[in-house]
């Protein structure tokens, strides 16, 4: 028996704005850290409440930008192996967050987002929606499943090759075009 394996990385197609924002956040982070350090050193000689507040605010800005700037360069990774689909979120090609694993044969519905089936599902009450895509204009697909009495839908942007592999493992009647 032949193994079915496919891995793909989804990147934002128009990244100019995010790249500019990333560079700007690096500049602001460095300037904030330098201002906080210089004000802190002057604060040691002459205590001033305003300067203390300035150190806290600029230090917090530098720290938060250090923690969250990588999110401006987010990618999604889909790995398909013999009917199992793994999802991961990658930040700046450095940090990886596993989002979960799905057995394709356990889904209740799968199809394109622009279908009638998706419009019916998306209006269900108490539906947990996960958007694991970056390009709104791409061919988006959804997985609908129930787990522990909770209704869930995952929206992603797989390639045509991945969609074809998924279809092979779906139970009869689950694919809704």
Is residue 37 in a domain? yes
In this structure, are residues 78 and 141 in contact, taking their beta carbons and an 8 Å threshold? no
Is residue 33 in a domain? yes
Is residue 34 in a domain? yes
Is residue 115 in a domain? no
Res 112: pLDDT: 95
Is residue 139 in a domain? no
Res 8: pLDDT: 94
Quote the tokens at residue 167: 């279809």
Select from 160, 168, 167 the least CA-distant residue to 138. Answer: 160
- Residue 39's domain comprises 16-71
Is residue 25 in a domain? yes
Res 1: pLDDT: 55
In this structure, are residues 83 and 106 in contact, taking their beta carbons and an 8 Å threshold? no
In this structure, are residues 143 and 153 in contact, taking their beta carbons and an 8 Å threshold? yes
Q: What is the pLDDT of residues 68-121, one digit of tens each?
A: 999 999 999 999 999 999 999 999 998 999 999 999 999 999 999 998 889 989
Res 153: pLDDT: 95
In the sheet that holds 109-112, the strands lie side by side as: 109-112, 141-147, 150-156, 127-132
Q: What is the pLDDT of residues 14-31, one digit of tens each?
A: 889 989 999 999 999 999
Q: Is 145 helix (H, G, I), strand (E, B) or coil?
A: strand
pLDDT at 2 over 70: no
Is residue 145 in a domain? no
Is residue 23 in a domain? yes
Rounded mean pLDDT, 127-150: 93
Select from 115, 108, 105, 113 the least CA-distant residue to 177. Answer: 115
What is the spatial distance between Cα 12 and Cα 96, in angstroms, rounded to a whole number?
17
| pTM score | 0.82
Cβ partners under 8 Å of residue 142, min gap 6: 109, 110, 111, 112, 113, 118, 121, 153, 154, 155, 156
Rounded mean pLDDT, 147-171: 93
Say how many domains are in the chain: 1
Res 176: pLDDT: 83
């Amino acid at each position: 028996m032949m193994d079915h394996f496919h891995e793909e990385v989804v990147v934002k197609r128009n990244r100019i704005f995010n790249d500019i924002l990333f560079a700007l956040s690096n500049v602001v982070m460095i300037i904030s850290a330098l201002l906080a350090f210089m004000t802190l050193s002057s604060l040691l000689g002459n205590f001033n409440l305003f300067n203390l507040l300035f150190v806290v605010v600029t230090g917090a800005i530098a720290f938060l930008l250090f923690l969250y700037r990588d999110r401006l360069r987010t990618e999604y990774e889909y790995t398909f192996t013999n009917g199992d689909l793994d999802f991961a979120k990658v930040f700046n090609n450095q940090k990886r967050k596993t989002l979960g694993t799905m057995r394709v044969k356990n889904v209740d519905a799968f199809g394109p987002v622009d279908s009638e089936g998706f419009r019916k599902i998306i209006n269900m009450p108490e539906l947990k929606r996960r958007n694991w895509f970056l390009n709104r204009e791409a061919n988006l697909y959804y997985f609908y499943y129930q787990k522990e009495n909770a209704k869930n839908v995952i929206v992603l942007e797989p390639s045509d090759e991945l969609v074809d592999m998924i279809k092979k493992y779906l139970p009869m009647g689950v694919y809704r075009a």
